[in-house]
A and B are shown apart, each in its own frame.
Chain A
């Protein structure tokens, strides 16, 4: 688990495509990012810019093909690991669209995951208490534990469930892919508090992917990266978010189109 300080996730010149043959499409076009323990990085970009592609590529989704670059966690080659190995190495992805798993209860799922990540089955009594405490903090009804994973969950419930897992699995690095989208103000607050609790309780590094600035009022980023057309086009501190709030992505999109035209 991750009472480690000083972890570092390094993404170097990452190129990723989707599709096969004539359908192949390059989505990530050279991404560079370095995230250290305790840091919170916001990645902000318009729809379709490749934010989820970045998140899934780091987690190892089979749909994406890595065509260049490296991803390392504390020097270990993440790209050489299977999906489950990445999670056991300390990576966590809160998905934009969490998957329904019929027939598998939340409680069974959580315990199996915790066993896998820590290498030993958690002691039942403390585990049940931990789960209950975390669920209460996320304002989730206890009945959720007996429901099937994500099945019939509302959008907000799915996101709470993702953050519940982050709190219980205690990753070294957590990638939160649009955890804020589709949440009303109350749910946004509850979910953000969950992330902040995890940050306070551990040295987790956070890659916070978002389309909007409003979650940054609850979770304060140390760094903001503007992501357009498959790469980071500008970086700065949290003041950059204020600029995006005021001006949107229009100027970046235009610059990118100009650059593309120049290449063509």
Chain B
């Protein structure tokens, strides 16, 4: 359906050779990032790769080949908005988070914990925290420090939960920044779905780490149905054990600013990560989703599908999908897709896929990014069957989102989210010709 830019791009086999600057392997990513239940495997030896894949001309990648990470906020320069990581983010909206002081403010937590699930808190000095993947930007580092410990959800090995673990997190409108750190630890061969359901109004910066034990099946659903006035930043990390499956669904509908950085690390061969996302930005909303999938061990799979719709003046969405296949990650299979549907004038979708391949011995790697407006031919076809333009739009946008939303493992939640989306569609303007400002960047490494 999107037409303006459509760049399916699939590659497999030997990577073309291009010199790669010598790299520093960031501490805390990969080698030291194993869940406590999983001995860290030797993935930190990537060193300088043999080459990076290049298939889109000499465009600079925009994303550094190696990412710096640190638990110390002062290791990151004060954010100006010119940094690659921050260049899309409206500084005015994110500054309250970046400059926020430590506080006692909390989100109101309501939980639904199936039998066998343990919910505890640990202090800042708990060894669990030291073993987590490190923050990759200043806000995430501030969050790690200011959260002063973590809320820990433990799901024992072999557990088969009869229903999802739900943490409902409601903002109370506090002017202070709420800092949070959540760790979900899933033992080996357990199967669990965890829902983080965000609502209310808050200035919130929350880190989330999911440690997926060997052979476990975990689905994390993060819903952002924030009220207006909300700014939400967060770094999400999944550490995927050997032969484990991690699925993540991020659904961002509310808030003035939502900026989520999702990272995936594999600690053993055979891991699978499926990252899906849905976002819907109205007038002046900024929704930013950044992904970083770090293939560092053999025979792992990643599949990314993010879909967004935008309507109204200054609705802005950003999707940055970085996938890296390190030399050791032979047998990798990866695909990432981002589609944006720009419904009205004055909205802007940025889409930046980025794929770096440092070994030729992979199964497949590809990405596609498409940003376009509501397709006139589809509209004509539906209308020519008597369906009015409003209903036609609703049908198409609903369908656009439904295939992602309906894959969420919690049907009641999927229904609720589709309901919200439908409600939002009710606010569509009429069908006059509309110009769209669309900027899409495609920067294969």
Most B CB contacts (10 A, CB to CB) among A83, A87, A108 go to A83
Contact with B along A205-248 (1 / 0, CB 8 A): 00000000000000000000000000000000000000000000
Nearest to B397 among chain A residues (CB) is A103
Most A CB contacts (10 A, CB to CB) among B377, B398, B403 go to B377
Q: Are B386 and A117 in contact (CB under 8 A)?
A: yes
Interface residues of B (CB under 8 A from A): 1, 376-378, 380-389, 391, 395-396, 398-403
CA of A113 to CA of B383, assembled, Å: 9
Q: Are B385 and A87 in contact (CB under 8 A)?
A: yes
CA of A82 to CA of B392, assembled, Å: 14
CA of A184 to CA of B402, assembled, Å: 36
Q: Are B403 and A83 in contact (CB under 8 A)?
A: no
CA of A105 to CA of B402, assembled, Å: 11
Minimum CB–CB distance for B17 against chain A, Å: 38
Q: Are B383 and A102 in contact (CB under 8 A)?
A: no
Q: Are A113 and B385 in contact (CB under 8 A)?
A: yes
Minimum CB–CB distance for B417 against chain A, Å: 15
Q: Across the interface, which residues of A come within 8 angstroms of B388, CB to CB? A: 84, 116
**Given the contacts A62-B376, A109-B395, A112-B395, A101 and B386 also touching, CB distance less than 8 Å:** no
Contact among B376, B381, B391, B402 for A101, CB-based, below 8 A: B381
Q: Across the interface, which residues of A come within 8 angstroms of B382, CB to CB? A: 101, 104, 109, 113
CA of A118 to CA of B389, assembled, Å: 17
Which stretch from A91-99, A123-131, A191-199, A253-261 is at the chain B interface? A91-99
In the assembled complex, A169 has its CB within 8 A of some CB on chain B: yes
* 17 further A-B pairs in the complex, CB-CB below 8 A; given A103-B399, A113-B382, A116-B387: A59-B380, A60-B383, A60-B384, A61-B380, A83-B380, A83-B383, A84-B384, A87-B385, A88-B386, A93-B384, A99-B377, A101-B1, A103-B401, A104-B396, A112-B395, A113-B386, A148-B399
Q: Are A169 and B386 in contact (CB under 8 A)?
A: yes
**Given the contacts A108-B395, A112-B395, A102 and B400 also touching, CB distance less than 8 Å:** yes
Q: Are A103 and B385 in contact (CB under 8 A)?
A: no
Nearest to A112 among chain B residues (CB) is B387
Q: Are A104 and B387 in contact (CB under 8 A)?
A: no
Contact with B along A45-63 (1 / 0, CB 8 A): 0000000000000011110
**Given the contacts A62-B376, A101-B382, A109-B382, A84 and B399 also touching, CB distance less than 8 Å:** no
Most B CB contacts (10 A, CB to CB) among A59, A98, A102 go to A102
Contact among A62, A109, A116 for B380, CB-based, below 8 A: A62
Contact among A60, A61, A95, A103 for B400, CB-based, below 8 A: A103
**Given the contacts A62-B376, A99-B377, A116-B391, A87 and B384 also touching, CB distance less than 8 Å:** yes
Q: Are A84 and B383 in contact (CB under 8 A)?
A: yes
24 contacts between A and B (CB under 8 A): A59-B384, A61-B380, A62-B376, A83-B383, A84-B384, A84-B386, A84-B387, A84-B388, A88-B386, A95-B384, A99-B378, A100-B378, A101-B378, A101-B381, A101-B399, A102-B399, A102-B400, A103-B398, A104-B396, A109-B385, A113-B386, A116-B386, A117-B385, A117-B386
Contact among B381, B386, B395, B403 for A98, CB-based, below 8 A: B381
CA of A99 to CA of B380, assembled, Å: 9
CA of A87 to CA of B384, assembled, Å: 6
Contact among B385, B389, B398 for A165, CB-based, below 8 A: B385
Q: Across the interface, which residues of A come within 8 angstroms of B396, CB to CB? A: 101, 103-104
CA of A126 to CA of B240, assembled, Å: 51
CA of A86 to CA of B383, assembled, Å: 9
Number of A-B contacts (CB under 8 A): 82
Q: Across the interface, which residues of A come within 8 angstroms of B403, CB to CB? A: 103
Q: Across the interface, which residues of B come within 8 angstroms of A165, CB to CB? A: 385
Nearest to B377 among chain A residues (CB) is A99
Q: Across the interface, which residues of A come within 8 angstroms of B398, CB to CB? A: 103
Nearest to B380 among chain A residues (CB) is A61
Q: Across the interface, which residues of A come within 8 angstroms of B386, CB to CB? A: 84, 87-88, 113, 116-117, 169
Number of A residues near B (Cβ < 8 Å) is 31
The DSSP consensus for interface residues of chain B is: helix
5 A-B pairs with least C-beta separation: A103-B399, A116-B386, A87-B386, A113-B385, A83-B383
Q: Are B402 and A103 in contact (CB under 8 A)?
A: yes
Minimum CB–CB distance for A103 against chain B, Å: 2
Minimum CB–CB distance for A113 against chain B, Å: 4
**Given the contacts A102-B399, A103-B402, A112 and B380 also touching, CB distance less than 8 Å:** no
CA of A61 to CA of B378, assembled, Å: 11
Q: Across the interface, which residues of B come within 8 angstroms of A148, CB to CB? A: 399
Q: Across the interface, which residues of B come within 8 angstroms of A83, CB to CB? A: 380, 383-384
Minimum CB–CB distance for B388 against chain A, Å: 5
Minimum CB–CB distance for A125 against chain B, Å: 22
Q: Across the interface, which residues of A come within 8 angstroms of B395, CB to CB? A: 101, 104, 108-109, 112
Q: Across the interface, which residues of B come within 8 angstroms of A116, CB to CB? A: 385-388, 391
Q: Are B383 and A82 in contact (CB under 8 A)?
A: yes
CA of A105 to CA of B384, assembled, Å: 17
Q: Across the interface, which residues of A come within 8 angstroms of B383, CB to CB? A: 60, 82-84, 87
Nearest to A61 among chain B residues (CB) is B380
CA of A105 to CA of B395, assembled, Å: 10
Q: Across the interface, which residues of B come within 8 angstroms of A112, CB to CB? A: 387, 391, 395
List residues 127-179 of chain A with CB under 8 A from any CB of chain B: 148-149, 165, 169
CA of A191 to CA of B37, assembled, Å: 63
Q: Across the interface, which residues of A come within 8 angstroms of B1, CB to CB? A: 101-103
Q: Across the interface, which residues of B come within 8 angstroms of A101, CB to CB? A: 1, 378, 381-382, 395-396, 399
Minimum CB–CB distance for A82 against chain B, Å: 7
Q: Across the interface, which residues of B come within 8 angstroms of A149, CB to CB? A: 381
